[in-house]
Chains A and B, each alone.
Chain A
Amino acid sequence: MRIFHSYKQDTDEELMLRVSRNDTYAFEEIYTRYATRMQGFFIRMLGYDIAKAEDFTQELFLKVYESRSAYEEGRIFSSWAFSMAYNLCKNEYRHREVVETHELEQNYDSNTTEEPSFEKMYDRAVFENQLSISLNKLPADQLAAFTLRYNEELSVSEIAQILDCPEGTVKSRLHYALHSLSQSLSMYNPIKP
């Protein structure tokens, strides 16, 4: 009973065990804790498509609820949820690849990259804008590793679980991501507050 028990003190794993016993209030607590984080992850991974990120957040929690009985006791919930989220993103990328190759076949003169003007280079807003563009240009696995490591602040071992790869692979992805970001943003020098 919810009145006699507060879920605020419970860990994610304890809550998930309750959810597996069809406890809706525990699921609500899980949703309250993770919905914003997951939506932020989807916004970053889906190229700032807000509407799609909302849909994916709902879809993810539907999947969490549907597969509640498959949740293994002792598994870290955040890793489990982020791995499901990443799989949803991978499916979306596959779908986009099909669409983009079809579009490229029809339109092959879309290679127009503009060099920013000298004044704009010193603008912080422009730097942030360029950063988001550079992040979007990263390969999906590097972007996921970067976001989980530096924005969600997860450990390398957790990221390895989520991305279903060895820790060394995660480190190399992070290295490549940081290298390419520093290269693409080296010409920008924002005015520090």
Chain B
Amino acid sequence: MNRLEHSDEVKRIVDASKVLYDKDKSANTPRSFDSLMKEIDRREGTPVKVGISPWWLVAACFIGLLIGWNFPFDKAPKSDKLAVNDTVYITEKHTDTIYQQVQVERKVLQRKEREGVAIARQVVPQTVTPPAMCNEISLPDLKSIRPATSGRSLAQENFPIHLLVSL
């Protein structure tokens, strides 16, 4: 056995097999420990644990305590801070549109001017359009529609005169 182990031929085989073995081990990493524990939990029927470390919970409680006890995180004087028992009134000022009062001079119409206005009201003829004419009047004259300098068509500008003429 010893003679065989120390022969060159066997040494070469053993060395090569060791290289092969190490190569196989390094090339194929085993599954993660977490997957193994999941399988163990599944077989044992234990419920899945919540993935929060107890240390995180301790840290959260500590922060809660600091906040609850009003720990002085900044170095501002204590008089500037609000105590828990202080009452705070919040007033809200809202400004909307501001109106300015303006004095307007009223024109007092003369008696003659008043009469003139009354006469003018009486003179203006009342235009009554018969129902049969309504369609004709409301239809625009397509040939007369031409753009005017003011942007309005000539027919629109002349419409009241047009109406009077037809009557």
Q: Does A121 contact B (CB under 8 A)?
A: no
Query: CB within 8 A of A62: which of B29, B30, B40?
Result: B40
Return the chain A residue nearest B12 by Cβ. Answer: A190
By a CB distance below 8 angstroms, the chain B residues around A40 are 21-22, 24-25, 28
Q: Does A28 contact B (CB under 8 A)?
A: yes
Number of A-B contacts (CB under 8 A): 85
Whether B5 lies near A178 (C-beta < 8 A) is: yes
- Of B13, B16, B22, B24, most buried by chain A (CB within 10 Å of CB) is B13
Q: Does B36 contact A (CB under 8 A)?
A: yes
CA gap between A191 and B67 in the complex, in Å = 74
Contact A62 to B1, CB < 8 A, known contacts A44-B21, A131-B16, A131-B20? no
Query: 1/0 per position for B115-150, CB-CB distance to A under 8 A?
Result: 000000000000000000000000000000000000
Whether B18 lies near A151 (C-beta < 8 A) is: yes
By a CB distance below 8 angstroms, the chain B residues around A31 are 33, 36
Whether B39 lies near A58 (C-beta < 8 A) is: yes
How many residues of chain A have a CB within 8 Å of chain B? 40
Q: Does B81 contact A (CB under 8 A)?
A: no
Q: How far is the CB of B40 from chain A (nearest CB, A)?
A: 6
Whether A39 lies near B28 (C-beta < 8 A) is: yes
By a CB distance below 8 angstroms, the chain A residues around B96 are none
Query: CB within 8 A of B30: which of A36, A147, A181, A185?
Result: A36
By a CB distance below 8 angstroms, the chain A residues around B66 are none
Q: Does A132 contact B (CB under 8 A)?
A: yes
By a CB distance below 8 angstroms, the chain B residues around A53 are 28
Contact A36 to B25, CB < 8 A, known contacts A58-B36, A62-B43? yes
B residues 12-69 touching A (CB-CB < 8 Å):
12-14, 16-22, 24-25, 28-31, 33, 35-37, 39-40, 43
Whether A62 lies near B10 (C-beta < 8 A) is: no
Q: Does A35 contact B (CB under 8 A)?
A: yes
By a CB distance below 8 angstroms, the chain B residues around A62 are 36, 39-40, 43
By a CB distance below 8 angstroms, the chain B residues around A150 are 14, 17-18
CA gap between A132 and B17 in the complex, in Å = 8
By a CB distance below 8 angstroms, the chain A residues around B35 are 58
Query: 1/0 per position for A44-64, CB-CB distance to B under 8 A?
Result: 100010100110011001100
Interface residues of B (CB under 8 A from A): 1, 4-5, 7, 9-10, 12-14, 16-22, 24-25, 28-31, 33, 35-37, 39-40, 43
Q: Would you list 28 pairs from A and B whose C-beta atoms are within 8 A, ordered by A residue? A: A36-B25, A37-B25, A38-B30, A40-B22, A43-B24, A48-B24, A53-B28, A58-B35, A61-B36, A62-B36, A128-B16, A128-B19, A131-B13, A132-B20, A147-B21, A150-B14, A150-B17, A150-B18, A151-B21, A171-B1, A178-B4, A178-B13, A179-B4, A181-B13, A182-B4, A182-B10, A182-B13, A186-B9
